[in-house]
Amino acid sequence: MSNNNAFKIIQEPVVSLLSRYGLDYQQKNKGHITWFNFKKCPMCGHDDYQCGLSESNGASGRLVHGVRCWHADDNPWGLNNPHYEDFLGHIGALSASEVLQIKDFSKGFYTKDKSISKIFDREYASRLQKRLLENKGALKYLFDRGLVVSTIERFYLGLSRKYTNKITGKAQENALVCPIMDSRGNFLKRNHYYNIPDITKNPLDKNSWMKGEVVCYYSDAVKSQKRLFVCEGLKDVWRHWQSLQDFGLSDILLISSTHGCAFPKEWKDQGFWKDWDIIYFGHDSDAAGDITARKLGEYIGREAYRVSPPLKEYGKDWSDFWQNGGTIEKFKSLLDQAPVVS
């Protein structure tokens, strides 16, 4: 089969695909998304219309497909949301080589923002990271927040090059560059930026900024994690991830909005929250954090737990907690004692 035909199959309407392979389903419309739930899932073998495919219209009229399998332990990938191309390979619609070819071309296609280039440039990100690692002042900013070099490298943090802003006419340079990681564990060619005091030149905001719509930032690929911890910002994601890795708590997935108290669209869909047994809202220990947690609780359609660092003892945010003597035992106790946000 040619590459063109492989891409045609990727874009084929779900109705004709499932009919061709004799897969029984129930169709359900949910907003702009159509779900096709299998009578018997070809991935995990479970029945009763639990697992399925989603279909919606993306940028330039392209069909966007997703996969949801509720039994990750029983499917070949150990994921609740496998790649669509992997699903097509599993049912025989694509060969193994075509699946790999599609992945090479389709990295980053999961966003609707037309301004975003689709393939993460790892080489360029490595050059920005080298600039960061060679800048003592920028490194001190991260080290003071408890981050180590291996964490900085893992999240591809870098330092921006000199750039003249077309709107302000000012030269900008040395902002902390943070590539976005999506739910599949892929980095996107879309960046969040932080102002590093006394290092960043002409920052667009005193704290952070990012072009385009708000999105969800992930610490890892969504796999079989049982617990979800919602952070207030990317810096909390990195600091938590580092400490949890040190103590083997890999069953907790960390996420954050890229725009502070604004929520990504998918967070407003109750279906987004169904994959996890326990959900924690880990926003800052202040009034703004409490308000954000309560607002988010209105969307999820289930109980969550409000977890915040003890303000008087450790400070208002989680970087303060870890830097001011917070231990993994104390962190676990805060999770166990967290009150319910209903």
279 shares its domain with 302: yes
Residue 230 in domain:
yes
Residue 142 in domain:
yes
Q: Which pLDDT belongs to residue 112?
A: 39
Q: Which pLDDT belongs to residue 314?
A: 86
Residue 294 in domain:
yes
Domain boundary residue among 150, 185, 209?
A: 209
DSSP 199-254: TSBS-SSSSEE-SSS--EEESS--SS--EEEEESSHHHHHHHHHHHHHTT-TTEEE
256 shares its domain with 291: yes
Domain boundary residue among 106, 134, 161?
A: 106
Range of the domain at 319: 216-341
Residue 14 in domain:
yes
Residue 246 in domain:
yes
Number of domains the chain contains: 3
Distance of CA 96 to the CA centre of its chain: 27
Its pTM stands at 0.67
Rounded to whole angstroms, the Cα distance separating 216 from 292 reads 15
Which residue has tokens 């001011």? 324
99 shares its domain with 186: no
CATH number at 140 reads 3.90.980.10
Alpha helices in 248-307 (DSSP H): 287-300
Q: Which pLDDT belongs to residue 333?
A: 94
- Nearest Cα to Cα of residue 222 among 258, 260, 249, 254: 254
156 shares its domain with 84: no
226 shares its domain with 337: yes
221 shares its domain with 328: yes
95 shares its domain with 127: no
Residue 114 in domain:
no
71 shares its domain with 132: no
Q: Which pLDDT belongs to residue 113?
A: 41
Residue 199 in domain:
yes
Residue 116 in domain:
no
Q: What is the pLDDT along the chain (342 residues), one digit of tens a residue?
A: 345 677 788 889 999 999 999 999 999 887 667 899 999 999 999 998 989 999 887 544 578 888 999 988 888 888 888 888 899 999 999 888 788 777 666 544 333 344 334 578 888 999 999 999 999 999 999 999 999 999 999 999 999 999 887 777 889 999 999 999 998 888 998 999 999 999 999 999 999 999 888 999 999 988 888 999 999 999 999 999 999 988 877 789 999 999 888 899 999 988 899 889 999 999 988 888 889 999 999 999 889 999 988 888 888 889 889 999 999 999 999 999 999 986
Rounded to whole angstroms, the Cα distance separating 97 from 79 reads 21
Tokens of 307: 């977890």
Q: Which pLDDT belongs to residue 105?
A: 60
Q: Sheet harboring 227-231: ordered strands across?
A: 216-218, 252-257, 227-231, 278-282, 304-306, 340-341
12 shares its domain with 91: yes
Tokens of 82: 């496998």
243 shares its domain with 329: yes
293 shares its domain with 308: yes
CATH number at 301 reads 3.40.1360.10
Domain boundary residue among 74, 106, 138?
A: 106
Tokens of 182: 């999506």
Strands (E) located in the chain: 25-30, 33-38, 52-57, 63-68, 158-159, 163-164, 171-172, 176-181, 187-194, 208-209, 216-218, 227-231, 252-257, 278-282, 304-306, 340-341
222 shares its domain with 189: no
State the DSSP H helix or E strand holding residue 3, giving kind and residue range, or none if neither.
helix 3-11
